[in-house]
Amino acid sequence: MAKIIDGKAIREFNLDKIQEQVEQLKAQGILPTLAVIIVGSDPASRIYVNNKKAACERTGMKSLEFALDEETTTEELLELIDRLNADKSVNGILCQLPVPKHIDKNKVLERILPEKDVDCFHPENVGKLCIGNGGLVPCTPMGMVKMLEYEGVDPTGKHCVIIGRSDIVGKPMAMLMLARNATVTVCHSKTVNLAKITKQADILVAAVGIAKFVKADMVKDGAIVLDVGMDRDENGKLCGDVDYDAVKEKASMITPVPGGVGPMTIAMLMRNTLTAAKIQNDL
């Protein structure tokens, strides 16, 4: 039976440390500030934005919300980003995705200054991540790294297999694991003999977006399994990309859904906002 990696407990551990550093910055007259932009009224996006505001309050940071109408144009959104870029009191800028289809997402993400890009989507930050020179790091992958650290897992020499090659999770997770001396294999929809590869993993990351995709016969005995999925099963119940009940009997450690990787994402957003404030104040 696997040890359950408690994402909520690890989140609180990290938020406590972030709060301590925020208090130190406040003592120097610096208040880390995150500006969140939401366009339209997507219910899931509203929940995410509220959670981010709550995390700012939890850590003592300031949060600013800019709620824009569904009909907002790309140009209007870019004008807002330009104002926030120029505002020295704003350290981090985040545009909640998805945005309405008529908005050019790439233009929006690339308009945010790299030093304020707390989601780490700007090409400059992606490039820095690839060469191991990034202060700001994608939140979900970094959350998994922090989970491994908390559990005392050193990736050095371990085979990390990642299912999924998205720009948000799969690719940056590969970079972070390489930087920590793991041997990394990235699998995807065109991978041949997927189960043969996943069964070699010491650390298996599931980020494919298909409910219960990873079955027990795809997992090596004693593997550490990190489930990034946020899916619904046949009964409409929230689940991950991993067949949790079956896989937990083979793995040595596993993240549940919910309560696993998810809580760490916002904690790392707070970490990035803190880092951005330090960078902008030459600390």
202 among known catalytic residues: no
- Return the pLDDT at 188: 96
- Return the pLDDT at 133: 85
Domain(s) labelled CATH 3.40.50.10860 in the chain stretch across 30-114
- Cβ-based neighbour number of residue 190 at 10 Å: 7
- Return the pLDDT at 135: 86
- Return the pLDDT at 262: 95
14: Cβ contacts below 8 Å, ≥ 6 apart: 146, 264, 267, 268, 271
Domain(s) labelled CATH 3.40.50.720 in the chain stretch across 139-262
Q: Which of 6, 96, 220, 250 is catalytic?
A: 96
Per-residue pLDDT of the chain (283 residues; tens, 9 = 90+): 899 999 999 999 999 999 999 999 999 999 999 999 999 999 999 999 999 999 999 999 999 999 999 999 999 999 999 999 999 999 999 999 999 999 999 999 999 999 999 999 999 999 999 998 878 999 999 999 999 999 999 999 999 999 999 999 999 999 999 999 999 999 999 999 999 999 999 999 999 999 999 999 999 999 999 999 999 999 999 999 999 999 999 999 999 999 999 999 999 999 999 999 999 999 9
Would you tell me which CATH number, out of the four given (3.40.50.410, 3.40.630.30, 1.10.287.3510, 3.40.50.10860), belongs to the domain 30-114? 3.40.50.10860
Q: Which of 6, 52, 220, 248 is catalytic?
A: 52
- Fold category of 139-262 in CATH: Rossmann fold (3.40.50)
119 among known catalytic residues: yes
- Return the pLDDT at 74: 97
Predicted model pTM: 0.95
Q: Which of 6, 116, 117, 119 is catalytic?
A: 119
Please report which helix (H) or strand (E) contains residue 33, including its range.
Answer: strand 33-39
6 among known catalytic residues: no
Distances (CA, A) of 280 to 33, 91, 249: 12, 7, 47
